[in-house]
Structure 1
């Protein structure tokens, strides 16, 4: 189930350029692709997937599989709405695995069997183990959101592993990437809960959960419910983001609609009805939670400040809005990363 929708590719470059160059692609190459792209969906010269895939092919031919994986990651962005996008994801996996022997951390790709809607689903998970990691150490479960997935954020997750000494289990949230079932609240959390349980078997039993963007919805829920030992929420929607009168920017309406499993572009009413089930108000009303760090950029166009500030005053919870940056503080990510690392290594917190 998937659909294409009207989106201006230049809008995506305006918002995502800092992430494109910040995750490892040379600015000159990104600028070249940006100048070549004139349309979002056609798989031909000037089309988004075509031009990004052409850059990825150049990297692959030059023996640079890591950059090829990054470029294929942008080729399949922002959603697996058609066959060329799904092909780009498959090629990203291939190039990522070719690059794995040169990672700065030990790498393993495992499949976790998770319950979903009365059945089970296979969830590919990437295990990143830093040098010197001990089996007694905690494990960090980590994911991105609806359009930036585990391979896209590999550099960030590797940095977290190296600087905290924690083994990182990276996954795609339901409805995205290689976790193919539709995004949902309760069923989606069943999948996340299975990953938490598995993470407890791969270390000393303690698990922290980092969620970025929509992934922050799931880490907020696991932290509020006390299902993990610590939780970090970076730019996560928790309540006001699911209001029926919310607005959508930079193609996010279609991105979320695809993640939710619609096969045609949903109406505002259909989207609002589906999103209303995600509110975390019942968990926010409880006065207990695991230790939590909740942060975001102060100028986020996707997530209202209220979804960060609502955590103020909760027990064992730190809340921070980083000024001068937007969604998930991407343009100031080194600062956000330092804050998260400092919080995680302060072991007395959890």
Structure 2
């Protein structure tokens, strides 16, 4: 029997709680037509607490011009920089000529974090939000923190799947470049930022090598129209034709050196993203594990599925500043999710994940 989902209003009330919205705070909500119903409900939830809140819809061409944007609109930049809290969720738009990730979306983050807190959910829709928050949030948060304490102790691990993934990963939580971040979706203090869907553990790996067989989601594909309109079709396609990434140490840097896929269209697309975006687009910038064990199954939507308990992912391209992984630059950050992961601590051969299920002592 499918779990009953909370109402949109109850979910935006929880989202306001995660962002610690307070009375009289300036709260900027930036969205577009794809997220307008959610943003309107979020605006109402924040105003009910007495926050000074406004929703800015960047789909208004008369005000902001046509998309994809080649730069962040000046009004939006000014509003975000002045806000105590910013929440940002717009449709991911990328054409052959313009990808809004470097031209627009990446420019929001430093402005929002300069003086305030920043929550973001790229690719958000109402079903995703309601699924994400129709859980016992306190239980998810507490479990994520407990899992985080264990994963921070990892020095090296092997991740494997029945599909053939086998990757050895090195960690170093003492190095400022490779910190673990425990993301519960909460942002409490100025400078805090998070994907506000709970929850996951993420780091920039000190090193990784092996084979990573992407049979759940390859995030850049989610911008394609056929997968935007039918996210489950992406799950079905990658189940049938997974993307195989070969990862090797190249002069001390973990890089993807080869890509294979039986779907020629996906193969060409992935190779272009990985090898032709920039000099660091094939560099591994993230390893992460979802910790929301109360979400059932996959949706085909990256921001939700990356949080599902036991789902493992790597990201190629840029890393995240919260993990220290922003010490180099790339115009892409692309998640690659695998199902059914088993993770073994090579230090003591303890299995922390077994076929996607946590095994914490």
Q: Does TM-score exceed 0.5, indicating one fold?
A: no
Higher helix share: 1
**More strand per residue: 1 or 2?**
2
